[in-house]
Amino acid sequence: MSKKSRPKHNSAKKKGKNSGSSLKSLLYNYFIKHPKKALNAKQLVQKLKLKGKEEKIKSVLDKLENEEVIFNISEDKYRLDRFYKKKSKGSSEDTFVTGKVDMTRAGSAFIITDDIEQDVFVPAKHLKFAMDNDIVKVLITRQVSGRRPEGKIKKVLERASSQFVGVLRTYKSEAIVHITRGTAELQIFIENDQLNGAEDGDKVIVKLVTDGRDTKEVWGRITTRLGDLSDNDLEMNAILINAGFNIAFPEEVIKESEAISVTISDEEISLRRDIRDVLTFTIDPADAKDFDDAISYEVLPDGNFQIGVHIADVTHYVTAGSALDQEAYFRSTSVYLVDRVCPMLPEKLSNELCSLRPNEDKLCFSAIFTMDAKFKILDTWLGRTVIHSDHRFTYEDAQEVLETGEGKFSKELVHLNQIAKDLKQKRFKNGSISFETAEVKFKLDENSVPIGVYTKVRQDAHMLVEDFMLLANKAVAKFMSGLDSKKPVPAVYRVHDEPNLEKLTDLALFTKELGIVLNLDTPKNITKSLNDLALKAQSDDNLKMLQPMIIRSMAKAIYTTENIGHYGLAFDHYTHFTSPIRRYSDVLVHRLLAKNLNKVTRESLEELEVKCKHVSAQERKANDAERDSIKYKQVEYMKDKVGEEFEGFISGFIDRGIFVELKESRAEGLITYEQMDEVYISTGSSLKVTGKKSGKSMSMGDTIQVRLMDADMEKKRLEFKLIVSE
C-alpha cells in the first residue's frame, strides 16, 4: 500500500500550539480599528510591514473567517464582519435558519427554508461539508434589502445519504476518500484499521462514522472495494449510491416478492369490475419491460363510448408495512440512468405480476370515462378491475398506425388520438404551459459505450398516452378533494406553485432585447407570454435555449397534502395515480382511493405529509442521478474529440465563465474567462456579458465556435476554449 504525507487539514483529533497567535492578534486588531477596509494578504503585508509572511497571513485570515470576525468579500479581500461587534459567540442576536441544500452547477448553493421568506445563498467556500439535499443549520451573514440573504453553513443536521462512492488515497496515519457529486466535493477521512482491504487508487463504497456535525472533519469506514467492476458499472453504481439509492434489494425483500402467488383467484375476480372482454392495449417504449398502464375502448349501445385508463394494482401485492413496502417507500422511485434502471420494486413484481403484458389477466385500479360524440365527459367511474390486454403497441407501432390510418385497431387508435388532442386543446385554452425540452438519448455499444447521440422526438403516440394519464390523475384528485365539503379528507396531491417573479423578470429583460415582450402582470398573462415564447422557439434556435430557463423560473412540482393546484397544467386538482410500479406517491394514492371508495376514511394528515416530503426528496435525488448519468455519457462520448472544434449555443453564465451547449451532442461545458479573448463583465442581467475593451456582448442563445480542451470523466466536466473569428 502506498504511503504518502497526507495533505494538511484541520483535524479534530490533533491540536497543536498556535504559533501564529501574535500575528492573529495583530490582524484582529487591525480589522477592529479599520472596519470598512477590505484587504487581501498581499496588501496586509505592505500595510503592516510583514515581509515574507504572506502565506502565514493567509492561514490566519482563514482562522479569523472561521471565527466570524472577518468575511471574504471578493478576490480574497477581507473586511470586518459587520455583525461581529453586535455579537459574542452563541449570542441570541445571531440569526440562524434550518433548511435543505440545493446545489447549483457553479458549486454554490441555495438553502431552501421555511424559517424566512427567501432562500439563503451560500457561496461554495462556506458550504462546510454539506452536499445536495442535506438538512443544515445556516448563519445569516449578510442581509441587504431587496436581495437574497447570504449565509454560511454552521452544521449539517441530517445527511441525505450515509454512504458514498469515491476514490481512495492512502497516507501515513490515515486515508482519504475523495467524493465528487456534481460540482460538490467531499473528503471522508478513514482510519487505517477501517480500510477493509482497499488500497490506494481503488474506487470504494464508504459509510459515514461521523458526518461533520460535531467535528471539523467527516470520518468513515470502507465497506466495499469496487475494483473488479468495469469503469461504466463503477460509475453508474457510484451515481446511484452517492444519490442515496440501494443498488440491490435486501434478501428479505426478494424472498417476500418471490413468495407471492401468480394465480388470480376467482374470489378476487368476483370483487372487481370484469372488463376482460373489452378491447384493451398498452403503448410503451420498445425496450420497456414493465407495462403499468393500459387503455380500453368500447362503443356503448346508445352511441356514447367508454375510455378506460387501467393501472397495475400494485397495492394488491405490496401490503402496507411489509418488507416490500418499506423498501419501496425508502426508494420511493425507480431511477432511470442511461444504460440501466434501478427499480423501486423487485423484478418479480415490476416485470411480471404487475406488468400488464398482453394475453394475460391482470389486476388493475381503473378510471373509466363515459363520453359523448363531442368528447364531453358524462360520467367517471373509479375502482378495482380485472383486465386482459389484447395487444402491446410500441410507440413506433402506434405512430405508424396514426400516420397511415392502417394496421391493427387503427379505427380505435385514430379515435383515441382525436380525443387526446381535444383534451390537450382544452387544457391549453385553460392556461396550461408548454414544457417541451430536448431529451437526450444515446446509441450504446455492447459495453454501454456511447457511439451516437440524438434528441428524442415526441409524437402523437407519446402525447396520446400522456393526455389520458393526465385525465385519470385529474379525476382521482378531484374525487379525493370532493369527499367532504366541510372538512377536507387527507390526500396526496401533485402541486405546482406560481413561477418565481424575480427569475421571470430577468428573463423578460433579456427577451425584450430580442424584441419579445413578456407580460408579467398576472398569472394568466404570464402563461400566455410563456406559451407564445415556446411557440416562437420552435422555429428559432436562439429561443430554444430559453426553454430550460423558463423551466428553472418555475417552482418545482412536489407532493403534499395541501392542494394548491398545478399551475403548469392549469389544473385545480391533480395527483399521481398512473405509475405505481415506479413511484411510491402513486402507491399512497391507490391506498387512499381504495379506503375512500365506499366510505370516508381519514388518514393522519401529519404522517401523510411526512411521507409526501420524503417522496418529493427522493424524486429530486433520482432526477439528479439521471442527469449525472447523462453528463457522464456525454463526456464519455466527447473524450476522444479533445482538440476538435464544435458549434454550440451559450447556455448560461457563472462567475468563472460561460456555459456552452454543443448543437450535435447537447453536451454542456465551460469556457473559463481565462480562456476568453478579453475581460467580460455582467451588464446587470445574468443572461448577458459585455467585453470590457471591445464592448461586444455575448448573450444566452448566441451561436459560437469552441474547441474542446479537456474531457474529465471523473468530474463529468468538459472544458472549452472560445474560437474568435478573424
Same domain, 595 and 467: yes
Question: Which class for 569: exposed (0-12), middle (13-18), buried (19 or more C-beta within 10 A)?
Answer: buried
User: What digits encode the pLDDT tens for the residues 303-330?
Assistant: 999 999 999 999 999 999 999 999 999 9
> Per the domain annotation, does 9 fall within a domain?
no
H-helix or E-strand spanning residue 316: helix 314-317
DSSP-derived letter for residue 69 is S
Angular region, 149: left φ>0, alpha ψ -120 to 50, beta rest: beta
CA 697 to chain CA centroid, nearest Å: 32
Same domain, 425 and 319: yes
Burial 382-412 (b: 16+ CB within 10 A, else e): bebbbbbbbebbbbebbbebbeeeeeebeeb
- CATH (domain of 192): 2.40.50.700
> Per the domain annotation, does 467 fall within a domain?
yes
The per-residue pLDDT for 652 is 83
> In the chain, pLDDT over 70 holds for what percent of residues?
90
Place of cell 415490476: 350
Quick check: 528 and 519 in contact, CB under 8 A? yes
User: What digits encode the pLDDT tens for the residues 335-389?
Assistant: 999 999 999 999 999 999 999 999 999 999 999 999 999 999 999 999 999 999 9
Same domain, 374 and 487: yes
> Per the domain annotation, does 511 fall within a domain?
no
CB atoms under 10 Å from CB of 165, counted, come to 23
The per-residue pLDDT for 229 is 64
- CATH (domain of 50): 1.10.10
Count of domains observed in the chain: 5
How far is it, in rounded angstroms, from Cα 477 to Cα 130? Answer: 37
Query: Which among 45, 61, 86 is the end of a domain?
Result: 86
Identify the residue with better confidence: 629 or 434: 629
- CATH (domain of 142): 2.40.50.140
The per-residue pLDDT for 84 is 60
Reading the block at residue 96, the C-alpha cell is 440562524
With CA atoms as reference, report the closest residue to 345 among 242, 282, 260, 237: 260
Same domain, 217 and 267: no
How far is it, in rounded angstroms, from Cα 421 to Cα 427? Answer: 10
Helix then strand count (H, E) for the chain reads 18, 33
Same domain, 36 and 79: yes
pLDDT band with cut points at 50, 70 and 90 for residue 463: very high
How far is it, in rounded angstroms, from Cα 432 to Cα 406? Answer: 32
Quick check: 638 and 667 in contact, CB under 8 A? yes
225: which strand partners?
204
Domain range spanning residue 200? 163-228
> Per the domain annotation, does 594 fall within a domain?
yes
Identify the residue with better confidence: 415 or 147: 415
Place of cell 467531499: 186
pLDDT band with cut points at 50, 70 and 90 for residue 234: confident
Same domain, 304 and 363: yes
Q: Which ranges of 332-459 would DSSP assign to H, the alpha helix?
A: 347, 395-404, 410-429
> Per the domain annotation, does 535 fall within a domain?
no
Place of cell 413578456: 518
Same domain, 45 and 101: no
How far is it, in rounded angstroms, from Cα 543 to Cα 536? Answer: 7
Q: Are strands 218-225 and 184-191 parallel, antiparallel or unpaired?
A: parallel
C-alpha torsion angle, residues 160, 592, 580, 583 (rounded to 10): -20
H-helix or E-strand spanning residue 633: helix 605-638
Reading the block at residue 521, the C-alpha cell is 402582470
Place of cell 411526512: 610
Reading the block at residue 121, the C-alpha cell is 445563498
The per-residue pLDDT for 145 is 66
How far is it, in rounded angstroms, from Cα 234 to Cα 636? Answer: 14
Same domain, 695 and 585: no
> Per the domain annotation, does 78 fall within a domain?
yes
The per-residue pLDDT for 74 is 57
Same domain, 81 and 111: no
- Dihedral sign (CA 666, 671, 676, 682): positive
Query: Which segment, 19-23, 223-227, 571-575, is predicted with the most confidence on average?
Result: 571-575
